[in-house]
Structure formats: structure tokens, C-alpha cells
Amino acid sequence: MIDPKLIAWGSSGSTIRSIAEYGAKRAAVVGAENVYNFSIGSPSVDPPACVQESIDRLNATVPATQLHTYAPAPGLQPVRQHVADYLKAQFGVPYRDKDIYMTCGTSTALAVLCRVFLSEGDEAVVPAPFFMEYRVYVEAVGGKLVVVPPQEKTLQLDMTAMEAAITEKTRLVLLNSPNNPSGGILTRSVLTALAAMLERKQKQYGHPIYIVADEPYRELCYNAEVPFIPSLYKNTVYCYSLSKSVSLPGDRVGFLALHPAMDDYDNVFAAVYGAVRIYGYICLSPLLQLMLKDCLGETADLSAYEENRDLIYGSLTKLGYECVHPDGAFYLFLKTPGGDANAFCKRAMEQYDLLLVPGDEFGCEGYARLAYCVPKDMILRSLPAFEKLAKEYGL
């Protein structure tokens, strides 16, 4: 009677959750300092001071009924105008307030946009590795997720495979750069080639193919450029949130931005409103919207993550592990010795209290994801465990 798919979605997806639960139980037994939880991409660095200051100021000065009243569904006009102006100044795309729709983080945006762009049988193309929830959002609206394997070793985008994956059923390409889980960044040359290929395919099939650019990690890049996809391809919806770079994952504040020149703009615009409506999102808290307005452009102190990256990448490769070099985000993708990522992660967890997530979850077998958005001393404390594990695998 109740949709079995819904029950399955509600019962699964708990790999990370069940790892976390295991970790909590182990912490009670061996002490929290002896459990090395690399499983969750939740920022460990304090948000910038502007967050606390902004909330303080808003709570003290904005009349309560105004601070807590309904915002318009897409967001407060001054906030949307501010976001549009910010994006325009930063990236040169002439966004207007109406192009901006405030969302509960990028997850809302992704779920809504899958509903907007995909109907039963339509295909969404995603290069692996990819964030696992993409599959859920696509399949929940009757779409088919077409996963494009990356180049071996580097895990960079394989353009030939990408082109082969685009069919007349393709309506959507999902991109996430800097990438969760690999830390990879799509370069300007790759994106330029991708844009040209998609333009060709649009002409060939006679309908738009939209890119959804999921970019909460934009500022988390280490000596690398993160090109702004909408400036290279107009049929792009840009999705951003304060979750990662500003260390506010729980606040669920973000936005989507429709390119003002995108094809079929009016219908996309109306469909976004429609999808938000049927999913029961009414608006985003004015307090949190105004805080976003105050803090957009600020970041947490991201240098800690770069230090962590250097430390963990250096240490693990020294121990003999093969790792994808991460240029951004706060994840390391490690090639699992022995090949079977699930077996490796199970052993790491049960024998050494090292909590990692198997790469199968992200569409790449034979890898494990380490979230290094953790205190540096935890990384240091974990190294002997990684060393023993390496020896077990004969590295």
C-alpha cells in the first residue's frame, strides 16, 4: 500500500549514518579520542565571526514580527538582489533578483531541479564519482541516472565517455566541482570542451540540455581555479549554499540562480516555483536569509583544510596508499588495497576504528572516501592505525 520505493529510500542511504552510529558506540567503549571518524563531511572549522554578529544584530534590531514573518516564497527581495549583485560582480553574469531563488541548502535545489527538468524516462548524466543523493533525486521523479565512469587513476572527466552518454533522452547534466568525494575540480579547458559538446548535442536533438552546477565547495580550493560554469554555458542553474565554505551545514541556507539567458526561461522559472510548492517548501527563515546577506563572500578559515589535505595526502601516500590528489573540497579519495572497498572499509572500521565510506556509494568501486574536515590532531592520532592497516595489505 505504501510505496515500496519510498520505504526503501527511507531505510537505505544509511551507510554513513550507520558508520556514525558504530563510531558513537565504539567511542563509548574505547574513548572518543581513539575513534577516527573520517566519514562525515561536516565542517570542523568555526564559521566566521560575521555569523554570530549578524544573528545577534538581527535578533536585537529587527522587529520580531518582521524577523519571523513569512518571506516571499523565492526569498526576500533585498537578499535576492544582493545575491544577484554579488554573482554579477564576482563572475560577470548579469543576474537579476528574479533569477535567484533561496533554497534550504543545495539539496533542496537539486531535488527541485530534478523535478523541474526530468519527467518519466528522461535521463540525467553524471560523471562519477558523484554525491550519492543525486541518484535518489533523479530516480524519485522517474528519471534515469546515467553514470559516466571517469578516467582511470586521475578520476578526471572522460570527455569521450561523457559524449557517448548524451542521448536524445538527456535533459540534465549534474556537475559537482570541487567534487565530493574525490576533491577534483573541473578545469576551464574541460568545461569549455564540455560546453561545446553540449551545444552540439542540443542542436542535434533539438532541445535544451541543462547543467545543474552543485557548488557548495566553490571556495574550498587549493591553488586551483574553479571556473564559473554559467559563464561558459548559459543553460546552467548554479546552486550554492553556506554549508561548507562558511561552516553552516545545519542552517540549510543557499540559493539557486537561473541564467538570465537560458533557453525556455519562463517555463523553467514557473516550474521551479511549482516544484518548490508541491514539495511543501514555503520560504526560508528571514533571520537566516538576512544572515546570508550579511555573510555572503565570507568564509570560515579554510587554511586548516589545506593543512589537513597536505598532512593526510602526504602521510597516506608515504605509507603506500594510492590517493587521488585533491585540489578542492575536504575529501580524499583513496584507492582501496585489495580492490574490495567494502571489505577494506569494514576492516578499517572493525580492526582500527578508522571510519571511512566505501566509494561504491559514489559510483566508483575500489575507493574509499575520507572526509578530512576534522581536527588536525585526529589525523595525527590516526596515522599509526593507517600504518598497521597498510601493513596488513602488504603496502
**Joined grid coordinates for residue 62:** 529587527
The answer to the question of residue 71 lying near its own copies (CB under 8 A) is yes
Binding status of residue 140 toward its own copies by CB under 8 A = yes
Nearest to 221 by CA among 177, 190, 188: 177
Is 270 a residue that touches its own copies (CB under 8 A)? yes
Q: Whole-number minimum distance, CB 33 to its own copies, in Å?
A: 18
Within residues 370-389, the interface with its own copies by CB under 8 A covers: none
- The reply to whether 181 sits near its own copies by the rule CB under 8 A is no
Nearer to its own copies, 248 or 356 (CB): 248
Kindly determine how many residues on this chain lie close enough to bind its own copies according to the rule CB under 8 A. Answer: 79
Site for its own copies contains 362 (CB under 8 A): no
The rounded distance, in Å, linking the Cα atoms of 145 and 121 is 10
One DSSP character per residue, 205-248 reads HTS--EEEEE-TTTT-BSS-----GGGT-SSEEEEEESTTTTS-
349: Cβ–Cβ under 8 A, 6 or more apart, which residues? 19, 22, 355, 356
Binding mask 205-244 for its own copies (x = CB under 8 A): --xx------------------------------------
- Segment near its own copies (CB under 8 A), from 26-34, 90-98, 110-118, 301-309? 110-118
- Asked if residue 43 binds its own copies (CB under 8 A), the reply is yes
Applying CB under 8 A, among 221, 256, 268, 295 the residue interacting with its own copies is: 268
Stretch that binds its own copies, among 52-60, 144-152, 214-222, 329-337 (CB under 8 A): 52-60
Q: Binding to its own copies (CB under 8 A): which residues in 308-327?
A: none
At 80, is the secondary structure helix, strand, or coil?
A: helix
Secondary structure (DSSP) of 140-192: HTT-EEEEE---TTT----HHHHHHH--TTEEEEEE-SS-TTT-----HHHHH
Stretch in the footprint of its own copies (CB under 8 A) among 226-234, 273-281, 325-333, 350-358: 273-281
Other beta carbons within 10 angstroms of residue 299's beta carbon come to 17
Contacts of residue 344, defined as CB under 8 A and 6 or more positions apart, other chains included, come to 336, 337, 338, 356, 358, 368, 393
From 100, 125, 185, 288, residue interacting with its own copies (rule: CB under 8 A): 288
Residue 121 in the binding site for its own copies (CB under 8 A): no
C-alpha cell at 267: 517555463
